[in-house]
Amino acid sequence: MLNRHAREFFTRLFTPLARALLKLGVSPDAVTFAGTAGVSLAALILFPLGQLFWGVVAITLFVFSDVVDGIMARLAGRQGRWGSFLDSTLDRVQDSAIFLGLALWFYSGGRSPETGSLAVVSILLGNLVSYARAKAESLGYTANVGIAERAERLVSVLVVAGLCGLGLPTPFLFWTFVVLALASVVTVIQRILAVRRQAREESSPA
């Protein structure tokens, strides 16, 4: 839902930056790698130190590279399967770093191992959500359905983590992980059912 409604706004916002980077000779792939490095380092350094708010600020600045590189690829006429593969793969790296950084904090200074464990569960379920869609598409089906796609998962966790960094009680993050885990399970089921329906339609006689 967030992907659909935000794409047009951010495309207009970042198109001038994308044009400027292309004029400087920067490639879309370079922006993708830089963004992934920035998000991962911010999450794995600042979150374990308990700097939740500043970690979220740094991650937010870098995470928009995911929008910029796509705009650059379209402007340069370089859209293709390689770019899509690289982008999707490095998205998983970013997501895992964010949840792992939070898990490390709660296992140590955050003193809430149960919240850390839920963060790890969120990594696993988030990757399962993505895998279900990728596998479906590799078989020729579509599975872009569900209530907890990547944007929803990232926004909810980063907003609550940032607020916890400003003083919101950390149990709010615990329950955010609970909701995300449940929503991810529902999303996987929705995608399985969507593919099952398409498979049945495919095998039904015309």
Tell me the residue length of the chain: 206
Q: How far is CA 154 from CA 2, 16, 121, 166, 206, in A?
A: 11, 25, 15, 18, 42
91 is catalytic: yes
d(CA 100, CA 124): 11
78-106 as b/e: b if 16+ CB within 10 A = eeeeebeebbeebbbebbbbbbbbbbbbb
Closest to 46 measured CA to CA, from 58, 34, 37, 35: 58
Catalytic residue, chosen from 66, 69, 87, 91, is 91
d(CA 94, CA 99): 9
Active-site residue set: 91
